[in-house]
Amino acid sequence: MSDPVIEAVDVVRFLGDGAGQVQALKGVSLAVASGELTLLMGPSGSGKTTLLSVLGCMLTPNSGQVRVGGCSTAGAGAEDLAKLRREHIGFIFQSYHLFPTLTATDNVRLALDVRGESAAQAIAKSKEALAKVGLAHKISKFPRELSGGEQQRVAIARAIVGNASTILADEPTAALDSENGHAIMELLSEIAKDRSRGVLVVTHDPRIVSFADRVVRIEDGLIVGEERPKEQLEEIETAPLRALELARIA
């Protein structure tokens, strides 16, 4: 496995106050490697979104550590964490969270604008990112003029336009039909092939497991399993050939 782009080490996180307080993460360790698409799967309330928030530097752990690009976020203030997010992490949300009053280009450009990039450069990069996700012909459209699948593509373009080392996606296919969901996962899978970038997708949709290089399962705030479906599939596919080869050698 290559170096992790982002990792959580023994993370504990409580949510809520007083009697209503719950321990959402009970000592979770998870590393997202570059060049991989990792699925984080688990039932509702298992701690998936809390872990995503912690890895995404939106929530700070009560104990344990988060490392972004090898550097610990311990002691970082709100503005330091925001800087880490804009420089290292791209987000994709279940409900897209596009700005309804901005065009597709401007929605993508926002990720660069918050970094202070010049307008001309940011517009050019945004158009390029939209072309990468297959929306070169819809750069001037507003979100209301786009289908759900297209809106999610715009959100993906926004996540990748700044060359973030980590893409964190929260249920990116949940609001889409299976065809659009399939297309989005193909796109994310393609993005994950970039050796400088790791993709973590939180989902409970079993139909997208085939796109994952690695599936991590979480339950009750603990990591309970991990598998590599592509490697297993490869093993299954190549097993008869290997047996034949062994027989020939014998």
Partner 1 sequence: MSLIFTLASRNLCHDRVRFIATVVGIVFSIVLVTVQAGLYLGFGRTVTTMIDHADADLWIMPVGTKSFEDSAQLDARKRFQALAINGVAEAAPVVIGYAEWRVPTGGSTPVFIVGSDLRAGGLPPWNLAEGSVDDLSIPNAIAVDRSYFDRLSVKGIGDQAEIRGQKVEVAAVTNGIRAFTTTPYVFTSLDRARAFTGMPTNKVTYLLARVTPGSDVESVRARIKANLSNVEVLTSEEFRTRSRAFWLFDTGAGAALLAGALLGIIVGTVIVAQTLYSSTKDHLNEFATLRAIGSSATYIHKVIISQALLSAVIGFGIAAAVGLIIVQATAGSALPIVMTPTLSLGLFALTVVMCVVSAIAAIVKVTRIDPAMVFTR
**Residues lying near partner 1 in the complex (CB under 8 A):** 49, 52-53, 56, 58-59, 78-79, 82-87, 89-91, 93-95, 97, 99-102, 106, 109-111, 113-115, 119, 158, 170
Among residues 111 and 176, whose Cβ is nearest to partner 1?
111
To partner 1, the closest distance from the beta carbon of 248 in angstroms equals 55
- 224-242 burial, b at 16+ Cβ within 10 Å, e below that, comes to eeeeeebeeeeeeeeeeee
Q: Which is nearer to partner 1, 71 or 119 (CB)?
A: 119
Residue 111: CB minimum distance to partner 1, A: 5
Q: Which residue has the tokens 């170096």?
A: 3
Contact indicator for 51, 30 with CB cutoff of 8 Å: yes
DSSP calls for 104-140: HHHHHHHHHHTTT--HHHHHHHHHHHHHHTT-GGGTT
SS3 content of the chain, % helix, strand, coil (to 5): 45, 25, 30
Tell which residue, 87, 26, 67, 62, has the closest CA to residue 224. 26
Nearest residue (CB) to partner 1, 35 versus 142: 142
Q: Residue 3: phi, psi to the nearest 5? A: -60, 140
CB of 239 to partner 1, least distance (A): 41
Least distance from partner 1 to the Cβ atom of residue 113, Å: 4
Nearer to partner 1, 40 or 230 (CB): 40
Shortest Å, Cβ 134 to partner 1:
22
Which is closer to partner 1, CB of 60 or CB of 65? 60
In 19-124 the beta strands, taken as DSSP E runs, fall at 22-33, 37-41, 63-68, 71-72, 89-92
